[in-house]
Amino acid sequence: MQKLIAAIAGCVIAAASAPRGRQPLTIVAFGDSLTAGHGVPRAESYPADLRRLVAAAGWQARILNAGESGDTTTDALERVPEVLRLHPDWVVLEFGGNDGLRGLPVRTTEANLQATIQRLQQAHIHILLVGMTLPPNYGRSYIASFQAIYPALARRDGLPLLPFLYQDLIPQLRHDPGLLQHDGIHATAAGNRIVAGTVWRYLRPLLRRGDYHGNSSNPGH
């Protein structure tokens, strides 16, 4: 818990451009090492870059990084109370990669994510679900079953889905392999800037609908 508090303290931001009297949005990036920013300073994680994009678009918001390296979906479910104490309006939910890399049963991963989603929804928190995939050496059948978790949950629970966190980063690796660290899994600072842009592209239209708290009357440029 102390690690989470310390990490969040370093990533809180408030942009002051919203109309007076509106409460700022709280957006929590809840995930594993891809969210935490493993291998780079916390200020170069994707949530830190997302913070800058949100502020530049004119939103009054706090962006909190609740990523923990190594977390599985079991850990996600156990950490839900910590996230609830942050009182988020939105959660960007990114888990499952470590389950897949460990070859855990797909049914277990799906059940844990479903339970996590239900607990967040019971608290009236909006969720952007982030999909994952696995390296090809895990086999077509397992990968297909794993990937299918995310659209199935999105349909079942009525969630917006970002199909793959790295969907804009991967195509650029041919021209710039330095977007990933040497482990071939975690983004570098430059890669995280691309990831933040992807997340913002999916999240921003949801906020523009005006159905949620925040600066919905002036959603940006």
Cα-to-chain-centroid distance, residue 207: 15
Q: Which residues are catalytic?
A: 33, 183, 186
Q: Is 188 helix (H, G, I), strand (E, B) or coil?
A: coil
Closest Cα to residue 35, out of 70, 66, 3, 4? Answer: 66
Please say whether the beta carbons of 53 and 18 come within 8 A: no
140's CB contacts (< 8 A; 6+ apart) are: none
Residue ranges, the chain, pLDDT below 70 = 1-22, 208-221
Residue 11 tokens read as: 């990533």
At residue 73, the pLDDT reads 98
d(CA 47, CA 61): 12
Residue type, 136: P
- CA 154/CA 159 separation, integer angstroms: 5
| Interval 44-99: pLDDT, tens | 999 999 999 999 999 989 999 999 999 999 999 999 999 999 999 999 999 999 99
For the chain, the domains span 2-208
3-state class (DSSP) for residue 110: helix
Looking at domain 2-208, what is its CATH homologous superfamily? SGNH hydrolase (3.40.50.1110)
pTM to 2 decimals?
0.85
pLDDT at position 156 is 97
pLDDT at residue 187, rounded to an integer: 98
CA–CA distance, 59 with 53 (Å, rounded to integer): 9
